[in-house]
Amino acid sequence: MNPKCRTVVMIGGNGSNLQAIIDSSALSSLIDIVGVISHRPKAYGLIRAINAKIPTSVVDHTQYTEDAFNHALADVVQKYQPQLILLAGFMRILTPAFIDRFAGIILNIHPALLPKYKGLHTHQRVIEAGDSEHGATVHFVTSELDSGPIVAQIKIPVYPKETAEELAKRVLVVEHWLYPQVIQWFAQNRLKFEQKIVTLDGKRLTSQDYLLSLPATQGIVS
């Protein structure tokens, strides 16, 4: 049996994606969440981790300059000896030095259909643009914000007169299924990011491969 994939989750807030990852890992023989790190001392996600008996660390970004924060953060991450690092509501920009230190093992989930709507306030921006579709994207992290290679996406419709808050709730449902799915691929050694190329089962991923369908059992988004 393969050893479990040592996984660190980096958070900054409520931690709903963290909870989805915790719940999924409890059903998996491949994933071991060895640590949860927050850049905010009062992030509720830390309580979720403690309740799940997962070790936690805090690197308070308000106590550092940007470079010093990234250096301190990297040292804390390294202590957990991760094979996979997950960003789940982590709201600080990582420096190239941090990303290079953990090259090829950092994943992020973004509440939009990248490459559209990088950055913040994606739901409101989608509504203001009059888009008919929205969704979530999992991608590998590189030094350019929300621009790393895409692994998978799920689309959902945008309803007429829907508010940003209502849309955000439906996107979260998508995220809670999509992120654990991609994490499982990585833990199974099926998903790799090497020499700037992402492969799944040995095949290079293209834009035609990104789109997944939410299972019918999750059917509250369409």
Average pLDDT over residues 81-94: 97
pLDDT of residue 222 exceeding 70: no
**Nearest partner of 17 among 155, 118, 168, 192, judged by Cα:** 168
**Nearest partner of 148 among 85, 202, 201, 190, judged by Cα:** 85
> What's the pLDDT at 2?
60
Assess whether 76 and 162 both reside in one domain.
Answer: no
The position carrying tokens 């996984």 is 7
pLDDT band at 218 (very low <50, low <70, confident <90, very high): low
Containing H/E element for 7? strand 5-11
* Residues 6+ away with beta carbon under 8 Å from 2: 30, 189
**198/169 Cα distance (integer angstroms):** 30
Average pLDDT over residues 61-75: 97
Query: Mind listing the pLDDT tens digit for each residue in 138-192?
Result: 999 999 889 999 999 999 999 999 999 999 999 999 999 999 999 999 999 999 9
Q: Which of 53, 80, 102 is the last residue of a domain?
A: 102
Query: Which residues does residue 136 pair with via DSSP β-bridges, in sequence order?
Result: 154
Assess whether 12 and 98 both reside in one domain.
Answer: yes
**11/15 Cα distance (integer angstroms):** 7
Region at 120 (left for phi over 0; alpha for psi -120 to 50; beta for the rest): beta
> Which sequence positions are flagged as catalytic?
110
Assess whether 80 and 139 both reside in one domain.
Answer: no
What DSSP line would sit under 70-137, residue for residue? HHHHHHHHHHT--SEEEESS--SPPPHHHHHHTTT-EEEEESS-TTSS-SS-HHHHHHHHT-SEEEEE
> What's the pLDDT at 208?
82
Query: Which residues does residue 58 pair with via DSSP β-bridges, in sequence order?
Result: 38
Assess whether 45 and 133 both reside in one domain.
Answer: no
**Other Cβ atoms closer than 10 A to 171:** 22
Do 151 and 107 meet the contact criterion of CB atoms below 8 Å apart?
yes
Residue 138 backbone phi and psi in degrees, to 5: -105, 130
Q: Which of 102, 137, 152 is the last residue of a domain?
A: 102
Assess whether 157 and 96 both reside in one domain.
Answer: no
pLDDT of residue 221 exceeding 60: no
Assess whether 125 and 57 both reside in one domain.
Answer: no
Average pLDDT over residues 122-136: 97
* Domain assignment of residue 60, given as a range: 1-102
Assess whether 80 and 171 both reside in one domain.
Answer: no
Average pLDDT over residues 100-104: 96
> What's the pLDDT at 207?
83
Assess whether 181 and 81 both reside in one domain.
Answer: no
Assess whether 96 and 73 both reside in one domain.
Answer: yes
Assess whether 217 and 162 both reside in one domain.
Answer: yes
Q: Count structural domains, the chain.
A: 2
Average pLDDT over residues 190-203: 94
Assess whether 4 and 67 both reside in one domain.
Answer: yes
Q: Is the pTM of this model over 0.85?
A: yes
Do 17 and 177 meet the contact criterion of CB atoms below 8 Å apart?
no
